Structure 1
Amino acid sequence: MKQLSSIIFLLFSLVSVAQQEAQYTHFMYNQQLYNPAYVGSRNTASFMGLHRSQWIGFEGAPYSQVLSFQTPIMRQRAGVGATISRYALGVSYAWFGSGAYSYNLRLTQSLSLRLGLQATIEYFGIDFADPKVVTVSQNDPSLADGDFTSKYAANIGVGMYLTYKDMFYFGASSPQIYPNDIGFNETTIISAQISPHRYFNLGAVIPVSEQLELMPNLIVKWVDQAPLDGEINFNVRYLKKITAGLSYRVGGDKAGESVDALLFFQFNQKLGAGLAYDLTLSKVKKYQSGTIEVLLRYDLRDEKADLENPRYFKKK
């Protein structure tokens, strides 16, 4: 049964790889992944690396890696950033390279609005020579000519990012504002379309004491002709060093997609690392052992800079 499910999943991946962007449990730690207006908002140059292995033990399961950089410019009135990411699913995979720019509209002393623009180059490939590909006939018309096929595409994205003091943020974005058709051959079975994704997210930092802060977060993803996805998160930060939390992701089936546990540790003023584990709730839970995600972030901040402000906001 496990083998049959894997085969079905792999064949389905041929038509779906370009339709959904990768999802990340650490969505609140670097919103640059889906909102160009976020770049420069942390008021320090910052690198981030992330690896996600989804549905461990499931043959052909998705996995992804991300490497990003962002920095403020023009005396923190603007920001620039770049992201390289890879997403693999079965015998198909995709590379994304993007550059982002944001401009900070300081509405009041406490209220800031950033507007962002992003350009992305996308590369999609399918390896039909992979041993995981199952076909009854070598002349199967659903397979493209040759053992490997690939496509390039380009897109642009926009976003806004609103912050109030160091207490609240709200973002809205669309990293890809128009659909791209990337059919790999004349047959419909492996033709695909990159569907525009719209994201809405918000969060807050609520001080409880000098040592303890509550940090709730919410993200909603809307894709045309697809169910509404979302994730609600509740973090607790202690001594501005250790952050632990739980998330619930909707989707999958009636029970939801997953329940997630997160842990983030700030080693010093520059280096922080996070670990997350997703416990799958949907029907696929029978065939896998959950999802693991690892994050590493390095800030080029001055050693004298403080850590009073939460990681989600810009420093005043």
Structure 2
Amino acid sequence: MKKHLLILLSFVFAFCIKAQQDPQYNLYQFNQMVINPAYAGARDGISVVACVRNQWSGFKGAPKTSCLSVHGPILNKNVGVGLTVVTDAMGPRSMLGVYGNFAYILKLNNAWKLSLGLNAGYNRFQFNFQEITFKANETSAYFMQNQNYNALDINSGLYLRTNSFFVGLSASHLQNKELYNYALTGDTTGGKTGGGNLSYRLRTHTIFTIGKSFKINDNLIFAPTLLTQSVNGQGNGDLNLNFFINNKLWLGVFYKGQYGPGFLFQYYVNNKFRLAYCYDTGLKDARKLGPSHEVMLGFDFSGTKSKMLNPRFL
């Protein structure tokens, strides 16, 4: 059993390093700033959101993410600006990112708005190579200590919306920057030189989102959403089925492709404060990774009377 679990964890870690590098957010629909810079200013007032996610809590070194975002409209609500701070750790890699967000909001007519977004920021990565076990006894002093890398990062996005519909498209790490690429020089116990190399590149992630709300009655709204993500030739998707009840409570279930199901809720304590929680778990072999937990707190300071009555941004 331990052997199979080790193989599974090795596969998942390799997949995340080569493909799914960016943090995953199941509560993205309640704070789309974390996946699309064009969302800045879309809530019509100042919005502050803090989020913490522990992914695959069943093993040591699993991804842990925290995020703080602040954004709002300026210049007669024709421009959105914001700030996003992210920390993310997985295995021997940890990252701190700070981004400034800018979105230009085009009012196409009385119902439709199109936002063009861009964010630019600074990433600081730390790699603890001492936590990695090499096939050969690595002799290079480079891998005997922690290594730090700094990188500028640029992301872009589009966000089209009405009061009951949204569609978004975003791309991260537009430079596709390689942080390091080093040859392994270790010797095996038999005296042969170890081959291969160790590299890390910030690959461009493309995310597409779409959502629509349907009013069932005065106390119930049905709002399905879909997210697809593509990176390095690999794709995945999340399908959410959400219900907004009594202008107070969001309840939803979802399915993450190639992984498994989960549920979420968001509760409006009052017009300005909301809290959300999400739980997901894998199916079959992925269940061995353990469940994931995500918690979010949101503060909205808006000129409108109530954001609870307008579910357009979920």
- TM-score after normalising by structure 1: 0.87
Residues 1:62 and 2:63 are matched in the alignment: yes
Give the corresponding residue for 1:204: 212
1:271-310 maps to which residues of 2 (within 5 A)?
271-281=273-283, 283-286=285-288, 288-302=289-303, 304-305=305-306, 307-310=308-311
Contact 1:144/1:185 (<8 A) preserved: no
- Give, in angstroms, the shift of residue 263 of structure 1: 1.0
Work out the CA distance in 1 between the residues paired with 2:61 and 2:111: 48
Contact 2:213/2:312 (<8 A) preserved: no
Work out the CA distance in 1 between the residues paired with 2:25 and 2:38: 18
Work out the CA distance in 2 between the residues paired with 1:163 and 1:248: 24
- Give, in angstroms, the shift of residue 284 of structure 1: 2.9
Work out the CA distance in 2 between the residues paired with 1:51 and 1:242: 20
Cα offsets for 1:6-31 (capped at 9, x unmatched):
58846974895474211111111111
Give the corresponding residue for 1:241: 248
Work out the CA distance in 1 between the residues paired with 2:74 and 2:304: 19
Give the corresponding residue for 1:152: 150
Q: Go from structure 1 to structure 2 and tell me whether the alpha carbon gap of 1:260 and 1:141 turns closer, same or farther (over 3 Å shift).
A: farther
Q: What is the total number of aligned residue pairs between the two structures?
A: 302
User: SS in structure 1 opposite 2:29?
Assistant: coil
Give the corresponding residue for 2:236: 229
Work out the CA distance in 2 between the residues paired with 1:297 and 1:261: 19
1:184-199 maps to which residues of 2 (within 5 A)?
185-187=182-184, 188-199=196-207
- Give, in angstroms, the shift of residue 155 of structure 1: 2.2
Give the corresponding residue for 1:180: 177
Contact 2:159/2:167 (<8 A) preserved: yes
The letter of the residue matching 1:272 is R
Work out the CA distance in 2 between the residues paired with 1:242 and 1:63: 27
Work out the CA distance in 1 between the residues paired with 2:269 and 2:112: 30
Cα offsets for 1:96-115 (capped at 9, x unmatched):
21111001111111111111
Contact 2:268/2:308 (<8 A) preserved: no
Q: Go from structure 1 to structure 2 and tell me whether the alpha carbon gap of 1:178 and 1:285 turns closer, same or farther (over 3 Å shift).
A: same
CA RMSD of aligned residues (A): 2.4
Structure having the larger proportion of residues in helix: 2
The letter of the residue matching 2:101 is A
Contact 1:118/1:175 (<8 A) preserved: no
Contact 2:71/2:80 (<8 A) preserved: yes
Contact 2:53/2:295 (<8 A) preserved: yes
User: SS in structure 1 opposite 2:142?
Assistant: coil
Contact 1:49/1:68 (<8 A) preserved: yes
User: SS in structure 2 opposite 1:118?
Assistant: strand
User: SS in structure 1 opposite 2:33?
Assistant: helix
Give the corresponding residue for 2:223: 215
Work out the CA distance in 1 between the residues paired with 2:209 and 2:141: 40
Runs of 4+ in 1 over 6 A off after TM superposition: none
Contact 2:130/2:143 (<8 A) preserved: no
Work out the CA distance in 1 between the residues paired with 2:240 and 2:15: 31
Work out the CA distance in 2 between the residues paired with 1:52 and 1:308: 28
- TM-score after normalising by structure 2: 0.88
Once the two structures are aligned, what percentage of the paired residues are identical? 27
Which shows bigger deviation, 141-150 or 193-202?
141-150
The letter of the residue matching 1:168 is F
Give the corresponding residue for 2:264: 262
The letter of the residue matching 1:169 is F
Contact 1:144/1:184 (<8 A) preserved: no
Contact 2:155/2:172 (<8 A) preserved: yes
Q: Go from structure 1 to structure 2 and tell me whether the alpha carbon gap of 1:269 and 1:3 turns closer, same or farther (over 3 Å shift).
A: farther
Cα offsets for 1:69-118 (capped at 9, x unmatched):
11111111110011111111112112221111001111111111111111
Structure 2: any 5+ residue segments left out of the alignment?
185-195
